[in-house]
Amino acid sequence: MGMTIVEKILARATGRQVVTAGEVVEPAVDLAMSHENAALVINQFLEVYKETGLDPAVWDPARVAIIFDHRVPAESPKTATNQKKIRAFVAKHAIRKFHDIRGDVGGICHQILPESGYVRPGFVVVGTDSHTTSHGALGAFAFGIGATEMASVWALGIAVNVEVPATINVNVSGTFPPFVGPKDLVLHLIGMLTAQGANFRVIEYHGSTVTSMSTSGRLVICNMAVEAGATAGIVPCDDETVRYLRDEAGVRDIVHRVLPDPDAVYDQHLSIDVSELTPQIACPHTVDNVKSIDAVEGKPVDQIVIGSCTNGRLDDLAMAAGILRGRKVASNTRMLVFPASGRIYSQALEQGMVADLVQAGALVMNPGCGPCLGVHEGALGDGETALSTTNRNFKGRMGNPNSEVYLCSPAVAAASAITGVITDPRKGARA
């Protein structure tokens, strides 16, 4: 019996020939990532060693990455003190994959990892963030864990009690219509599956549409796999994966190009043809409350947000800048733009995108998670509505339970910024 991609990765990581869905394994970890919540991991890590009486020691500092991104710069003395604590820990344990609050090498963890070449095909990647699923875009098995579990990883180098997940095979075919793309695809898929439809499963993406999709687009569809309840999303390593790692991340040694066996056993098969797909909108207050844009077109919006680990990459900014170039953000709407990393910010500056956005009336912020998590920058007022390219719209997600959040693509966000209402970019927008 053949194996899926995740089964093959876990077999290698556990030193076994075969693993099957439902087994509980303890795979060796190739990369362990945390952001500011590393402060919680440190507490747990030190507590474990306190009980043993041994000197605390990270199992392999070269396999630990810590990135400040959720609250940058620090918004409170508490956050600043926690960041200070993390810096001291990083220095003491010689953790080199550390990205502090900097304009050149800073940014959102789920962008920093791929663009820095930290993630490779076939890796087991764990992160204390649910959107660690993003890194399946590079053919890795990447999933979120808690602070206590991460403390064990730091100490032992293995992920404990991991149940081998079953896999859903999603085959995507067709060519995207103008102003429709990966974000619309994944919102459509979440609407099909529902928020719990992929619980404890991996979504393995296949098909001609995925093969021709950029790594940026693949990061989008893997990032939001968790919104259908999935443990991970994954795209098989192919020529695009190799190109991205070689040309954009400077990686040469791609060792584990893991592909599923022809007779792999899947829990479910789904097929999607994107040829007739329309711009999709996730309506309040759940990500699976997905509708075609025509169902909500004309809804007034107070704030537009473009960015986050989902849609803050260069192609996202290019789409928005192209639509907004020479135009103005509506006077009754504010627009915030958060590039995903310092590198992307610099590229957008060099290519004139930032100027286009600023001249249109957008406020371009520092790279970071910004308003997405609802505790730092861009809070909404009572009764206000946001239209955002981020990944969640739960009640209170952007800081105020008395507001509403709609999720969309960068094309929809930019077109709507001009009109001040949810607008179909196919009606008059230009890229």
Encode pLDDT of 118-132 as tens digits.
999 999 999 999 999
pLDDT higher than 80, residue 51: no
Q: Report the CATH superfamily, name and number, of domain 5-272.
A: Aconitase, domain 3 (3.30.499.10)
Please, where in the chain does CATH 3.30.499.10 lie? 5-272, 280-419
pLDDT higher than 70, residue 431: no
At the topology level, CATH places domain 280-419 in Aconitase; domain 3 (3.30.499)
- In the prediction, which pLDDT does 375 show? 80
pLDDT higher than 80, residue 137: yes
In the sheet with 290-292, reading across from the earlier edge strand, the strands are 290-292, 280-282, 404-407, 385-388, 303-307, 334-338, 363-364
| Percent above pLDDT 70 for the chain | 99
User: Among 44-48, 185-189, 305-309, which stretch is predicted with the lowest mean pLDDT?
Assistant: 44-48
- In the prediction, which pLDDT does 298 show? 96
- In the prediction, which pLDDT does 126 show? 98
pLDDT tens, position by position, 243-283: 999 999 999 887 788 999 999 999 999 999 999 999 999 99
User: Among 300-309, 360-369, 389-398, which stretch is predicted with the lowest mean pLDDT?
Assistant: 389-398
pLDDT tens, position by position, 164-173: 999 999 999 9
- In the prediction, which pLDDT does 427 show? 87
- In the prediction, which pLDDT does 430 show? 60
Report d(CA 375, CA 370) in Å as an integer.
Answer: 8
- In the prediction, which pLDDT does 159 show? 95
Supply the mean pLDDT for the chain: 95
pTM: 0.95
pLDDT higher than 80, residue 184: yes
Mean pLDDT of 216-228: 98
